[in-house]
Amino acid sequence: MAKEKLMLHTILDTIEDGIYVIDQDFTVEFMNRKMIDMFGNGVGRKCYEVINNGESLCEWCRSEDVFKGRRLSMELFMPIVKKTFKVTELPLTNPDGTLSKLGVFRDITHRKQDQAKLKTSVEEYRTLFENLAVGVAISTKEGKFIDANQAILDILGYSNKEEFLDIDIVKDLYLFPEDRLRFQDMIENDGRIIDFEVQFKMKDGTPVPIMLTSNARYDLDGNIVGYESINVDLSQRYQME
């Protein structure tokens, strides 16, 4: 039995997740090597002293539910180590019939940081997208807009984005529908188009000259699924000429 116990401890020490066991008095009975590396050796001490440097039960503690047989999972930031963990807790029945709680701490700090960076990048992109002085729009290959900034709404006389996203690009946007076909032929061949002069229609049907620059959008298989376009109103330039 001692040999089996030693082997079990050796196996648990090779696991990259932190593992600890507490009894129903919240005393730490076991910590694997990873848990000790992160929180220090706390065997024999109260769990809240070890993992939270506290004097009483942690605010998020759900040990009573675990001791009633529930398995729990949560994400927790632990200030004492400045890390975020996915914590899984489950009841553990001992050979003598008593219950302990097994806790598994998986470090997800880098994942949470990456998510935060991605969120910041998305928010920064959205701010840039919305505040550009030129019209920017994202459309499908089939001819529907899926996003647009305020500038293109202003250029084309739309006050409501939802209304603009609902239009048919070929029928409602292009003054000459054949220009849409020319545009698609060029971008399908080259993946982008630069400074393509075209006549769009405003909401009331008024023609407006546009300088169109666009890049193809691809799916994971490399197929073109839509376009990202920058639209510059040329009306003032034509008036000056």
What are the beta bridge partners of residue 93?
99
**How open is the CA angle 218-163-187, to the nearest 5 degrees?**
25
Per residue in 23-45, pLDDT (tens digit) is 999 999 999 999 999 999 999 99
Cβ–Cβ < 8 Å for 13, 33: yes
- Please name the amino acid found at residue 110: H
Distance CA 62, CA 125 (A): 40
* Alpha-carbon dihedral sign for residues 95, 8, 111, 53: positive
Provide mean pLDDT across the span 63-81: 92
Strands (E) across the chain are located at 18-22, 28-31, 72-78, 83-93, 99-107, 135-140, 145-148, 192-201, 207-218, 224-233
In the predicted structure, residue 238 carries a pLDDT above the cut 60: no
At 14 the pLDDT is 77
At 240 the pLDDT is 45
- Mapped onto helix, strand or coil, the DSSP state of residue 60 is coil
Per residue in 5-26, pLDDT (tens digit) is 666 667 777 788 999 999 999 9
Distance CA 178, CA 85 (A): 57
pTM, rounded to two decimals: 0.54
